[in-house]
Structure 1
Amino acid sequence: MRRSLQLVLAGALLLGSSVVAFGDNVRTDYDHQANFSQYHTYSWGQVKTADPFYVGRIQQAVNSQLQAKGWQMVPSGGSVTIFASDNLHNQQETQTMYDNLGGGWGTGWGAGWGWGGWGWGGGWGSGVGEATTTTTNQPVSNLVIDLFDGSTKKLLWRGLATADLSTNAAKNTKSLDGDIGKMFKGFPPKPGK
């Protein structure tokens, strides 16, 4: 029974760490001296993407977020100018699969140091068996959205999203919308935060 619980916990830990590794990553930063309450209009600068269809999708998602916060888009001369760009690249991912975990008592998980008996010492598994490692190229996209003061041209705010890309365009668009929503969740920044 104890070994079964240990296997379940080990599987949950491995699954949880792999989910985090493949999830989207969204970060923002801003000029902490800027008074965002003075900005209410925006205009679009250049939007550069590897896929021309994403120009409109990015603009639409950002427009939706900003307009929900009371900002108004103007054709030119807004108090903020927005620029966006993406960078597509392949990231190598390596995965190792083990078979024939072995049986019997020997080195491995079990009694020994550590929490709940995890660690080196007696436990199950006398050997790892065969290991197969594969390396694949995973398409990854980095999206950067910058907001500049319309008159001083000073960078006010930056959002960065990094995501693994799918071969399914609808899934990528949904991911894009979600990432932009996360970027603007706490926007505009509150003074002193």
Structure 2
Amino acid sequence: MNRRFAALAALALPLLISACASVGGPTVRIDVDPGADFSRVRTYSWVARPDGGTPLMQQRIVDGIDSRLQAKGWKLAPNGYIHVSAHVSSSEKESQGAYYNRVGYVGWGGFGPPAPNTAAPTDTYEVGTLVVEMVNAQSKRSAWRGTASGTLHDDPAKMNALLQAALDKMFTGFPSASK
């Protein structure tokens, strides 16, 4: 019996660790114009740099996007074929803890004073969202849009790790709708 439990624990532990790691990561969504032809794109230009967060985080966002686009062979140019913009926003969220409502009486056989109700604890945290949009400069049509959301941290190293993970997810397989 102990061997079965040990084997089960050995199989379940990696799954549990990977599930916990994915819970705290950013949520990324991509939307692509099916008619967008990225095969001809060689240049891009910034039309709106991130407007939220600290100046250092804004620069990390721009540098992260630039490095990923340039890795695809795109070049930053004054009047690029694609116009890139990035926006940052944040909002406060609350999570409710467990609420225990004990109904009835406590004591031996159900006799005694009524059980107290306990209030549910709340936890406040901040969620940040990064939106990256790409528009065809000639047609003015939206070609690609990526959004990433995640819980913000006070530690700059954790914030940078969250940003890099979000950008990695966002640009995996980019451009996904090339003709």
Structure 1, unaligned stretches of length 5 or more? 99-129
Structure 2 residues not aligned, in runs of 5+: 101-116
Relative distance call for 1:29 and 1:46 in structure 2 (3 A) is same
The answer to whether residue 150 in structure 2 is matched with residue 163 in structure 1 is yes
CA contact (8 A) 1:148 1:156 kept: yes
Q: Deviations over 1:26-55 (max 9, x none)?
A: 111110011110111100111221323222
- CA distance in 2 between partners of 1:191 and 1:53 (Å): 33
Q: Which residue of 2 aligns with 1:146?
A: 133
Contact 2:25–2:165 (8 Å) recurs in 1: no
Q: Deviations over 1:104-132 (max 9, x none)?
A: xxxxxxxxxxxxxxxxxxxxxxxxxx976
Q: How far apart, in 2, do the equivalents of 1:94 and 1:14 lie?
A: 23
For 1:83, the equivalent position in structure 2 comes to 85
Task: Please tell me whether the aligned partners of residues 96 and 131 of structure 1 are also in contact (alpha carbons under 8 angstroms).
Answer: no
Distance 1:72 1:92, change over 3 A: same
Amino acid across the alignment from 1:72: K
Distance 1:20 1:174 in 2: 14
Residue 91 of structure 1: how far off its partner (Å): 0.9
Greater relative CO, 1 or 2 (CA 8 Å, sep 6+): 2
Q: 2:36, 2:177 within 8 Å by CA — same for their partners in 1?
A: no
TM-score by length of 1: 0.69
Which letter maps to 1:24? P
Alignment of 1:10-89 (within 5 A): 21-47=23-49, 48-74=51-77, 76-89=78-91
Query: Are the counterparts in 2 of residues 85 and 143 from structure 1 also a CA contact under 8 Å?
Result: yes
Distance 1:134 1:20 in 2: 25
Match for 2:68: what amino acid?
Q
Work out the CA distance in 2 between the residues paired with 1:14 and 1:67: 37
**More deviation in 13-22 or 32-41?**
13-22
**What secondary structure sits across from 2:54 in the alignment?**
coil
Q: Distance in 2 between matches of 1:186 and 1:131?
A: 49
> How many aligned positions are there?
155
* Structure 2 Cα separation of the partners of residues 42 and 16 of structure 1: 37
**Aligned-pair distance for 1:23?**
3.0
Q: Tell me the alpha carbon deviations over residues 136-169 of structure 1, each in whole angstroms, 9 at most, x when there is no partner.
A: 1111101100011112221100000001011101
Q: Distance in 2 between matches of 1:18 and 1:31?
A: 34
Match for 2:162: what amino acid? S
Identity of aligned residues (%): 31
Alpha-carbon distance, 1:25 to partner = 0.4
CA distance in 2, matches of 1:151, 1:71: 17
Richer in strand (by share): 1
> How many Å separate the matches in 2 of 1:96 and 1:15?
24
